[in-house]
């Protein structure tokens, strides 16, 4: 028996120590390799190692793969792996009726049931069995049995349970075990005993499928018709790191990356530190103020100064960002947003730093604000951030978020030679240099690098006289400079792409507007609505300050505007204030992504 | 670092066209002059040098130099200088900071720059007051001092900046004073000679809000009794008649009279710039000038790999391990597949 | 010969060391004492002691007094004192045609002329004499002559020149010398020689008037009809300090004031430190982050935690303010705005921190934002800030600005017994305390003070479960808490006065909207326009978040709305975004106050 | 400060209903237990005590105490505790912080709280790693350490927290270790007894990201050779056979064998808690355990007026000068006039 589906979602859930992330990543990669499009959503607990069996210790990894463009990790799951009662409790609501549940019945003992708050064993519940295809298997025993000849300790043997379920899931989707084996071989290359145990258990899981007595459908999903090219999977944070290095090569400028660890931005630091052999300087500062400050220092010295952080760090950078605005230096802040305010929920996504990015500095301190839309878009937007910073000579904030940062997707690897280079606006003249001489068109000031003979100058936070850069308290000069700094940022609109209607109809009844990681869910919903015959478009804004010059016109082509955000309506407020434009809002501030179902129902309300 | 490109310049070649706007009589003028002199003497060219300052009267310094410079924000100069120096080890980078800038708001960046041994020269203009904001106490103001923000006297003990710098890991630590221009110049030169972070505390008179704070040490009459000018390898002798010295007794320093004349006691304190322990010991002389002499000069000097050197080695280790990797390969990463 | 005028403006200008501030304050106070209303504008240089004779070293003090409500320090001056060429150069444009110029001709020597950039001596210029009544007097010589018997050094003698011109100005306005003498006596009580010199010179200046050979009109201004009561003069910063102490008494709560010095807020710290005998704890922190943090600690301990700062400090407080929002503690930040961005122009006024106050924190972090309108209004708004913070248990930002902070006005001293007390929302129950139990109406959580038996609890920056305050990552709970925090701030609208039309007609053609220190100039212009028969109102907003509940309705009564601000349009943006309301803007960002003439001409454009 | 209101409680009375969420095996558990024990032994009541923490694994501490508490933001706990303690000297205020929290982002507030001698107890859980953010190096990680953020080894020297605390002006400075629960309890008790700021560095094993960082000092076999437990007035003797001691030679400490057995050399280091100089000297023993023993115990203890005491005196001075002033009089100020 086998079913054919357009896309399928699998969720691996278990204790933090159960290796669910590894199983999920392995399965995702294999799915991509088989030619599917994928979207993933790792969802781990806040605790480093929560006690086993607890509800808050559940770690999950959700992956959706399909033959069409896969835009979200899925609202519901077709196959759910629950390694213990807590995992079941936390995730069962996600399982579709008729979906497959794989559970380790050995883990459903009295202690674990109590920790998860179950009075009775749910696996023995008839309703459960009616509603879902339940594969309740003594996985722990089966694994120990499979490894009875292995010299490993029981603890280490049990750690391979993730490979057992992975094998089983591979069987359900008729996957090629060899790819998984390859990955495992690479991972445990230096630990032969662990490697062989993992391989053995993987196979045990796979072949169990064949011998199962209950009827489990084998699910088939055709391959996606992805554009031709060489692919890899990439997360948002990986894409950011690679984008920055690429930008450094494209601009010919050295890269100074400095960061203070903070979830979910730390992985960018880890990557950059690893890429030390690529001539990146990657530094861990003593705090975020030092990070942005030293980035400013590096930028003054002629480097691309970049820092990455999350909300609390962005808040701390407020004052120094003002200095970057005043000195007009190309520094880039990547804000990987997480749920706030304050420490908030550090491991959950949110999009509530937009107004802070826009206005979170005293005085009139405008800067460029960008936002990437998908994990791999971080690659291009990181390059874009560097390009705009180094040609317009101004700080840039690039907004990413936890959902983008950790989510993975297949990415068609660009040919480096085809990426456009640019010339930073650096002073190379021999004439009389003044720090506030500007390019007539862009208003960018000339960036003169210390060491350049004859271009000595002082920049700083005090108001400066136009052109000469001498300290000035002159009233008219101050207003002129305030307006110049504003106008310079406004003119960036001439140097960015016009706003497109990303998906759906170019004009009509409703436009759904978003920014950041809501891209997938909006696009998916709009595609469905258009298929259903509705006149709906999707406008996804990646340039938030300045807005693309035609944005107002584009939005004006629709009768209704719905702004979708994981905050209380920050872009909505910006659109209202900027364009005096009435907009509807759909806001979800729960630290979990907006689902297709939720958005669909909101959209339909407006389409009635 | 010493200049490379050409002709020896005059101090005035390091002077910018901006007229200094410090109060007439301010100690900052003397320091400006010595710095310009030292740069000229050491053969720098103006475009090879950068001055980074925070906010305060002293932090106006970069405007008056015909070099590169940044007058930044309050307390962050050491962090800004770190980013600059790491990317541009070829430049001579100086940090100009005040006691409020460096030790109140900027304390953290200061100790971290010292710990990392970034090869910059940090000049702390200590006037024991907030000058620019018109006279509040600072972290170096003495307990009970009456200022605008402490009309009833302060309630807190001052930092001993030299001791703090030593314990934070500085590799060159010295103290000098605005009025002793020769000593100052000598110290500045040595600070610049030093490879690694140099921390120089300069007592600076703010004649408007804290006039005479260091009179005990500058008054020519008092000076011989109130100051000790440290010299490497030499015993700590002072006094108008050079008849007093420091001895070590049960781990502490004590002042004793040298008697009979010329015969130093066996436990006399002999300064050793290479000993952190001795540096801390002598730096802990921090009491009122009536009771304890105040040491000036180089407390500590030791050559350790600088932050930039360590970072370069880090890169070399990485390159050695990884070999040459093209950007294209980097983008490919570990696992790819082809869609046709 | 004598002229009668409704109001008169005098400006004292000279070197920083010339004592112009003292002369100005003295004259202002005497004006107030004689029954006039007054408004002052001290305007000193950025440098501590700029070199003598330089343009940037000019220090000025402008005072306007009159028989009617005096709302601004005046666009132009009737009497100008210029102690040297630089002072003349910097201020002559302010002098009305026919106005009186008093200059120390001794100071117009070659060196000073050169420093001021004059080729020839302007005092000898015939045009000058035609346009103004010029009193070019050898003041230095006259002073030395008057003090020829004094034992003082020449330097100290010369320092009394300010008293000479003060005496002369007193003569011009037929003032009572005794009051000035009293003030001087108090000031120099401990320095008898300096005192006697000052008194002698004051008289010399006064009596010179009588003997003057050229014709100088004596100017008369009738007394103002001020409300009955006991008066003092007060600056904005003084009012803030007194307001905070008063609030402490009215609420019965101890006051913790902590600040890091910064222009123009430092004087609040100085005052509070002086008031140590009033049981205020006033502390100078190591930086602004420590200031706000320790205020939060104090507030947790049951005190009113207050800090005062200016833009750069407010930026640094962003992160900790988020904690205050999350922990819902009554801390108050007073932001005395100055010209930004970054260090900007620290000694010049601006109103560009509004959006930062609103949005300058990551995540959804709403708090109360207030703004005082006049120097003495700081007294009432400081009390209001404390009242709202301690009854709604939430942080409050009170916006003041440099113009309010340093400007003085007569203030009718309230009777302490008539000021309304209030009860802070403190937990005094013995029941089961949970940190996020709330008052049903206001949604304020109960503030339980350490030391209270049985109410132990932990607050912090992580998201908390509603009511219990346990750490929670629950999605629905998070959204609930985000909305609760927002709603709590919104409901403050029920606890603040409705918006009034401050001046002019209650509905009509044009409403001029402002906030902060533009109060005086807007009110003055609206009064004049109404007198001229225009249908114009003035709405001054002191409650910026939340807005008064009827604000939209009030503004809606006018055909046109003109928002006047010393920034690029921050309130205008808020009004647009909040009410989708089209507004006109008048913005001046020059670090100098908006003049009546400028605003009048803008208003007239809209009234055509 | 000791509790005042009533019955003696058990350690478990200080335990909250929240289950600790540290990794199984984490050193934090042991410290939590000792703190609860000490509070009970000292007779505190839960409502008299407040724990203020920053952010980090260790900073979760307050949730597990049945006392008042704030889990604040990264690095600011000392500042927050200062505000609280100044207004509420009646409370027992504890700061819980990590090596990143206290020494990276929070370095400045830490040294200022120490300088001011605020009467709080600061417990620094030093695991030489960032735990909560999953394994980056911290300002106490050793040079060249490989971590997530330093895959090629770090490039910076670690702080010596004890030395930093001493030089910043702390009046009680001690070091202990998670595994030595008795020593730990003793130190915590003394820290709490101390009137003034107490700084206690606690070596804490992070078994997930930095397991065994302190194994040299906890391994029962190695311990006698690698550790010195300081005792006031006693010579510094250590070694399995207690056959080694520290001597002072030319201002530095050196390890020598005691021979013949039992006969201490004349220059043996005798610890003196009241000597800042000695404290700094012995604190500078900071090398690898193979070469230098690491000192534990109380380095320094001296009674000085606390910040709160100084502030109270300040107020008293002001009151004495000004007498009783009513609020109404204050509003009147110096000069008023009547309009009728
Ligand atoms: C964030 C911030 N806070 C406060 C200030 C105000 N401020 C400027 S300089 C200064 C202190 C100056 O003292 P110091 O560093 O000793 O320098 P000095 O003027 O004495 O040379 C302060 C508090 C500021 N500019 N920025
Ligand atoms: C402003 C800010 N920056 C960064 C972080 C992320 N962060 C949380 S804890 C931590 C460091 C933890 O290390 P440590 O203080 O040593 O505590 P440990 O977890 O080791 O106990 C960091 C960087 C944060 N919460 N806030
Ligand atoms: S205030 Fe003091 S430190 Fe500042 S310039 Fe004047 S004298 Fe120098
Ligand atoms: S990560 Fe380390 S410090 Fe944090 S709880 Fe786990 S073992 Fe403890
Ligand atoms: Mg100073
Ligand atoms: Mg740690």
CA distance D131 to C476: 29
Strands A133-137 and A95-104 turn out to be: parallel
Among C326, C341, C568, the residue with its CB nearest the CB of A322 is C341
Would you tell me the crossing angle of helices B107-116 and D107-116 to the nearest 10 degrees? Answer: 110
Residues from chain B contacting residue C262 (CB–CB below 8 Å): 133
Residue limits of CATH 3.40.920.10 in chain A: 2-220
Length of chain D: 340
Residues from chain C contacting residue B75 (CB–CB below 8 Å): 287
Percent of chain B past pLDDT 70, that is, above it, reads 98
For range D104-110, the mean pLDDT: 98
CB-CB under 8 Å, B72 with A293: yes
For range D270-299, the mean pLDDT: 96
Strands C368-371 and C396-401 turn out to be: parallel
- Relative to the CA of D138, which ligand 2 atom is closest? 16
pLDDT level of residue D6 (50, 70, 90 thresholds): low
**Lining residues, ligand 2, CB within 6 Å:** A 260-262, 288, 312-313, 316, 343; D 55-58, 74, 98-101, 125, 127, 129-133, 138
D residues 32-91 closer than 8 Å to B (CB): none
Task: Report the residue among B30, B58, B208, B211 best suited for mutation to probe ligand 3: largest number of ligand atoms under 8 A from its CB.
Answer: B208
pLDDT, position D1: 42
Most D-contacting residue of B89, B108, B153, B199 (CB-CB within 10 A), to test interface: B108
- C347-364 tens-digit pLDDT: 999 999 999 999 999 999
Residues around ligand 5, an ion, CB closer than 5 A: B 98-99, 127
* Cβ atoms A368, A341 nearer than 8 A: no
CA torsion sign for A455, C344, C331, C482 is: negative
Q: Which residues of chain C have a pLDDT value below 50?
A: none
Would you say the ipTM is above 0.90? yes
CB-CB under 8 Å, D152 with A49: no
Give the pair of three-digit tokens for residue B121. 């020269």
- D215-230 tens-digit pLDDT: 999 999 999 999 999 9
Strands C229-235 and D337-339 turn out to be: antiparallel
- A60-94 tens-digit pLDDT: 999 999 988 899 999 999 999 999 999 999 999 99
- A212-239 tens-digit pLDDT: 777 777 788 888 788 899 999 999 999 9
For range A437-461, the mean pLDDT: 97
pLDDT, position D11: 96
Where on the phi/psi map is residue C508: left (φ > 0), alpha (ψ -120 to 50), or beta? left
pLDDT, position C209: 85
Most C-contacting residue of B60, B63, B133, B208 (CB-CB within 10 A), to test interface: B133
Residue nearest to atom 6 of ligand 4 (CA): D23
Nearest CA in chain C to B129: C261
CA distance A136 to A104: 6
Cα–ligand 5 centroid distance for B57 (angstroms): 7
Most C-contacting residue of A354, A357, A362 (CB-CB within 10 A), to test interface: A362
CB-CB under 8 Å, C312 with B149: no
| B321 and chain A in contact, CB less than 8 A | yes
pLDDT, position D5: 52
Please identify, in words, the CATH class of the domain defined by C2-220. Answer: alpha beta
Cα–ligand 6 centroid distance for C327 (angstroms): 25
CB-CB under 8 Å, B79 with A290: yes
3-state secondary structure of C239: helix
Check residues B250 and A3 and name the one with the higher pLDDT: B250
pLDDT of D3 above 50:
no
| pTM, two decimal places | 0.96
φ, ψ at A175 (rounded to 5°): -85, 165
pLDDT, position A608: 86
CB-CB under 8 Å, C316 with A322: no
Among A315, A345, A350, the residue with its CB nearest the CB of C319 is A315
Residues from chain B contacting residue D119 (CB–CB below 8 Å): none
CATH of domain B11-231+271-307: 3.40.50.970
Give the pair of three-digit tokens for residue B320. 């050695």
Cα–ligand 5 centroid distance for B139 (angstroms): 9
pLDDT, position B334: 87
Domain C503-607 in CATH 2.40.33.10: no
- Relative to the CA of D204, which ligand 4 atom is closest? 3
- Relative to the CA of A346, which ligand 2 atom is closest? 25
| B144 and chain A in contact, CB less than 8 A | no
pLDDT of A448 above 60:
yes
Q: What residues of chain A have any CB closer than 8 angstroms to a CB in chain D?
A: 47-51, 56, 260-263, 266, 269-270, 273-274, 276, 284, 286-288, 312, 342-343
Count of CA atoms in the C-beta half-sphere (13 A) of A241: 27
- D164-177 tens-digit pLDDT: 999 999 999 999 99
- How many angstroms separate the CA of residue D31 from the nearest CA in chain A? 18
Among D55, D131, D149, the residue with its CB nearest the CB of A48 is D131
Cα–ligand 5 centroid distance for A114 (angstroms): 63
pLDDT level of residue B243 (50, 70, 90 thresholds): very high
pLDDT, position C45: 81
- A415-434 tens-digit pLDDT: 999 999 999 999 998 789 99
CB-CB under 8 Å, B315 with A277: yes
Who's near B102: CB < 8 A, 6+ residues apart? Answer: B54, B75, B78, B110, B122, B124, B161
Cα–ligand 6 centroid distance for D95 (angstroms): 15
Task: Enumerate neighbours of B (3 or more CB pairs within 8 A).
Answer: A, C, D
Q: Where are the domains of chain D?
A: 11-231+271-307, 235-269
- B24-73 tens-digit pLDDT: 899 999 999 999 999 999 999 999 999 999 999 999 999 999 999 999 99
Closest CA to C71 of C41, C98, C38: C38
* Cβ atoms C382, C419 nearer than 8 A: no
Nearest CA in chain C to D320: C277
Cβ-based burial of D335 (10 A; exposed 0-12, middle 13-18, buried ≥19): middle
Cβ-based burial of C416 (10 A; exposed 0-12, middle 13-18, buried ≥19): middle
For range A22-47, the mean pLDDT: 88
Nearest CA in chain A to D140: A286
Residue limits of CATH 3.40.50.920 in chain A: 503-607
- Cis bond before residue D260 (omega within 30° of 0): yes
For range A330-346, the mean pLDDT: 97
For range D1-23, the mean pLDDT: 80
Instruction: Provide the strand spans (E) within D137-197.
Output: 172-177
| A358 and chain C in contact, CB less than 8 A | yes
In the predicted model, what is the mean pLDDT of chain A? 94
**Lining residues, ligand 1, CB within 6 Å:** B 55-58, 74, 98-101, 125, 127, 129-133, 138; C 260-262, 288, 312-313, 316, 343
For range A178-204, the mean pLDDT: 90
Please identify, in words, the CATH class of the domain defined by C233-418. Answer: alpha beta
| D91 and chain C in contact, CB less than 8 A | yes
- A108-162 tens-digit pLDDT: 999 999 999 999 999 998 999 999 999 999 999 999 999 999 999 999 999 999 9
pLDDT level of residue A1 (50, 70, 90 thresholds): low
Query: In three state form, how does the secondary structure of A50-62 look?
Result: CCCCCHHHEEEEE
């Amino acid at each position: 028996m086998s079913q054919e589906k357009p896309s399928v979602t699998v969720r691996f859930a278990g204790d933090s120590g159960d290796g669910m992330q590894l199983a999920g990543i392995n399965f995702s990669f294999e799915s991509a390799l088989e030619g599917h499009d994928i979207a993933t959503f790792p969802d781990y607990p806040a605790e480093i190692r929560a006690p086993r069996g607890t509800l808050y210790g559940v770690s999950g990894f959700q992956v959706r793969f399909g033959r069409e463009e896969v835009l979200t990790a899925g609202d519901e799951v077709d196959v759910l792996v629950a390694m213990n009662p807590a995992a079941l409790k936390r995730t069962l609501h996600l399982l579709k009726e008729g979906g497959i549940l794989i559970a380790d019945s050995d883990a459903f003992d009295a202690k674990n049931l109590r920790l998860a708050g179950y009075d009775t064993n749910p696996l023995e519940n008839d309703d459960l069995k009616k509603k879902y295809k339940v594969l309740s298997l003594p996985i722990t025993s089966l694994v120990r049995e499979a490894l009875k000849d292995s010299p490993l300790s029981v603890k280490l043997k049990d750690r391979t349970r993730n490979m057992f379920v992975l094998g089983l899931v591979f069987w359900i989707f008729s996957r090629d075990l060899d790819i998984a084996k390859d990955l495992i071989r690479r991972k445990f290359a230096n630990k032969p005993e662990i490697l062989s145990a993992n391989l053995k258990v993987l196979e045990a899981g796979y072949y169990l499928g064949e011998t199962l007595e209950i009827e489990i459908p084998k699910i088939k999903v055709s391959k996606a018709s992805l554009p031709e090219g060489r692919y890899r999977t990439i997360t948002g944070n990986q894409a950011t790191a690679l984008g920055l290095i690429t930008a450094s090569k494209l601009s010919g400028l050295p890269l100074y990356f400095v960061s203070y660890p903070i979830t979910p931005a730390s992985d960018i630091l880890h990557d950059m530190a690893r890429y030390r052999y690529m001539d990146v300087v990657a530094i861990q500062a003593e705090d975020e103020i030092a990070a942005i400050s030293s980035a400013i220092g590096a930028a003054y010295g002629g480097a691309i100064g970049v820092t990455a952080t999350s909300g609390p760090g962005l808040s701390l950078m407020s004052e120094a960002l003002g200095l970057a605005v005043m000195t007009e230096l190309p520094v880039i802040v990547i804000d990987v947003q997480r749920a706030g305010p304050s420490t908030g929920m550090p491991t959950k996504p949110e999009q509530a730093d937009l107004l802070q990015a826009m206005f979170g500095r005293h005085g009139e301190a405008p800067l460029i604000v960008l936002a990437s839309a998908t994990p791999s878009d971080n690659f291009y937007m990181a390059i874009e951030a560097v390009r705009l910073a180094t040609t317009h000579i101004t700080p840039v904030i690039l907004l990413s978020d936890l959902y983008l940062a950790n989510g993975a997707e297949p990415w068609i690897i660009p040919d480096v030679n085809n990426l456009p280079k640019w010339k930073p606006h650096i002073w190379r003249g021999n004439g009389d240099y003044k720090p506030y001489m500007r390019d007539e068109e862009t208003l960018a000031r000339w960036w003169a690098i210390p060491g350049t003979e004859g271009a000595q100058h002082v920049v700083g936070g005090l108001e400066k006289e136009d052109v000469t850069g001498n300290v000035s308290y002159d009233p008219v000069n101050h207003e002129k400079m305030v307006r110049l700094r504003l106008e310079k940022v406004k003119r960036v609109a001439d140097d960015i792409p016009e706003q497109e209607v990303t998906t759906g109809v170019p004009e009509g009844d409703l436009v759904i507007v978003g920014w950041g990681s809501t891209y997938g869910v909006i696009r998916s919903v709009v595609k469905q609505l258009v298929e259903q015959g509705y006149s709906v478009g999707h406008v996804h804004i990646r340039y938030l300050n300045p807005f693309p010059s035609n944005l107002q016109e584009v939005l004006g082509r629709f009768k209704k505007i719905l702004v979708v955000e994981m905050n209380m309506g920050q872009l909505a407020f910006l659109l209202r204030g900027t364009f005096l434009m009435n907009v509807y809002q759909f806001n979800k501030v729960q630290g979990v992504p907006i689902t297709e179902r939720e958005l669909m129902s909101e959209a339909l309300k407006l389409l009635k | 670092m010493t200049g490379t490109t050409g002709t020896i310049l005059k101090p005035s070649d390091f002077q910018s066209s901006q007229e200094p706007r410090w109060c007439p009589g301010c100690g900052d003028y003397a320091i400006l002059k010595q710095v310009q002199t030292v740069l000229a003497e050491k053969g720098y060219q103006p475009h090879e040098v950068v001055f980074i300052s925070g906010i305060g009267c002293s932090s106006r310094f970069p405007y008056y130099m015909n070099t590169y410079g940044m007058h930044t924000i309050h307390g962050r100069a050491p962090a800004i200088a770190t980013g600059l120096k790491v990317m541009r080890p070829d430049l001579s980078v100086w940090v100009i900071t005040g006691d409020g800038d460096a030790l109140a708001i900027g304390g953290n960046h200061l100790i971290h720059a010292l710990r990392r041994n970034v090869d910059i020269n940090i000049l702390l203009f200590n006037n024991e007051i907030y000058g620019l904001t018109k006279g509040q106490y600072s972290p170096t103001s003495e307990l009970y001092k009456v200022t605008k923000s402490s009309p009833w006297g302060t309630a807190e003990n001052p930092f001993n900046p030299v001791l703090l710098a030593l314990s934070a890991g500085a590799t060159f630590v010295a103290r000098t004073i605005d009025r002793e221009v020769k000593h100052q110049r000598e110290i500045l030169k040595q600070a610049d000679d030093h490879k690694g972070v140099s921390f120089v505390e300069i007592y600076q008179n703010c004649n408007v809000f804290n006039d005479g704070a260091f009179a005990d040490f500058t008054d020519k009459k008092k000076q011989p009794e109130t100051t000790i000018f440290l010299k490497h390898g030499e015993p700590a002798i002072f006094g108008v008649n050079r008849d007093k010295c420091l001895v070590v007794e049960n781990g502490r320093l004590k002042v004793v009279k040298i008697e009979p004349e010329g015969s130093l006691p066996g436990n006399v304190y002999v300064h050793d710039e290479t000993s952190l322990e001795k540096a801390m010991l002598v730096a802990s002389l921090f009491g009122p000038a009536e009771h304890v002499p105040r040491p000036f000069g180089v407390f500590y000097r030791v050559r350790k790999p600088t932050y930039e050197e360590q970072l370069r080695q880090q890169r070399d280790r990485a390159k050695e391990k990884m070999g040459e990797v093209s950007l294209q390969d980097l983008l490919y990463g570990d696992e790819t597949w082809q869609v046709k």
